[in-house]
Amino acid sequence: MLIEGISATARRLPLARAWDGGVDANHIVVVRVDAQGGARGTGFAWTPGVGAGAVLALVREDCPAALSGRPADPGPRWADLIRHLRDAGTGGLTAMAVAAIDIALWDLQARAAGVALTDLIGRRRDHVAAYGSGVNLDLPLPELAEQVRGWLDRGHTAIKIKVGSPDPGRDDERVAEVRHIIGPDRRLMLDANQRWDLPGAVRAMRRLQRHDPYWIEEPLPADDLAAHVRLRSATDVPFALGENLRTVREFRAALEAGICDVAQPNVVRVGGITPFLRVAELAADHSVPVAPHLLPELSAQLALCVPMVSMVEDIDQASFAALGALTRPSGVEVREGRAYVEGGAGHGLEFAVDTPAPQVP
């Protein structure tokens, strides 16, 4: 099948409650790739704050020249796009634009073959563990406790909460309360979102380690490998890293430095399904499991296919379904702390793109 056309549109998705830091909406750029014989695939890029307009422009103005009239094969076309766009960089906005097209090409191939995306890639398991997750550092403690109890009521046995408050004592109080609510046997993960410097991370982990965290996520700036190595000597808590690592090379450096115990690639930020699968293979080579970052409707599908997997993120009020971005259920369902995937051909994501996208050109 040869690629005949590419189209893209963007949409702003308001959040029911603003995330920490004042983010009040997510944005998606939905891409359609058309091929000979009427075949079509759908892909997307995602950003919680800025950049959707720039991604949209890259897809519309710069990507078609590398694709039109060429076979609709994801791997070779991914390499073509990276090479074609290299003057704009290999990560960041460029990777997000490439991701939208790469996801569309995988969807197109699966639909053309009449199989689910998971079967095209190669399904290794029937379900994967899921954990309750929220952007909740700004929530008062009673509301945080209510959120956690809601996850337990839905059957979750693993919970993640935010840390990184200006007052370390506030973090300690909140983590202690959540540990009390979930009990000693459920998993409790912490996410600092790069808020600490090295001395602050050392002090924080000395206090928080007594609550038996299953991992600490992004305790330091993601690209500061040396600081992570120094923090490693101060705590036994595993490090979960990757939502802000943007290339396979960046993941390789973190894995080889021995500071990535759980790899968290975001399928859009790393450039699509093609590099995501490479990151997963690389992590497995280092005996490190993958816990995909956000985007549960696609992340759960990929988690069924990777060699080693930890958990997928059941993000509170921020799935595509919860944001009203889909015209029908995706086929991904989380129940009793596990994610299951059932659906027809392709990845099953049908986006509602008719609504205009305010603030996104």
Residues of the chain with pLDDT under 70: 354-361
Distance CA 84, CA 66 (A): 6
Return residue ranges of the chain for CATH 3.20.20.120: 120-341
Return residue ranges of the chain for CATH 3.30.390.10: 3-113
User: How many CB atoms within 10 Å of residue 124?
Assistant: 14
pLDDT of res. 49: 81
> Is 3-113 CATH 3.30.390.10?
yes
Cβ-in-10-Å burial (0-12, 13-18, 19+) of 343 comes to middle
120-341 to CATH, choices 3.20.20.120, 3.50.50.60, 3.30.540.10, 3.90.226.10? 3.20.20.120
73-130 pLDDT, tens digit each: 999 999 999 999 999 998 899 999 999 999 999 999 999 999 999 999 999 999 999 9
User: How many CB atoms within 10 Å of residue 166?
Assistant: 7
Instruction: Please report how many Cα atoms fall inside a 13 Å half-sphere around the Cα of residue 348, on the Cβ side.
Output: 24
Q: What angle in degrees, to the nearest 10, is found between the helix axes of 198-208 and 225-232?
A: 30
Distance CA 263, CA 282 (A): 10
Is pTM, for the whole model, over 0.85? yes
264-295 pLDDT, tens digit each: 999 999 999 999 999 999 999 999 999 999 99
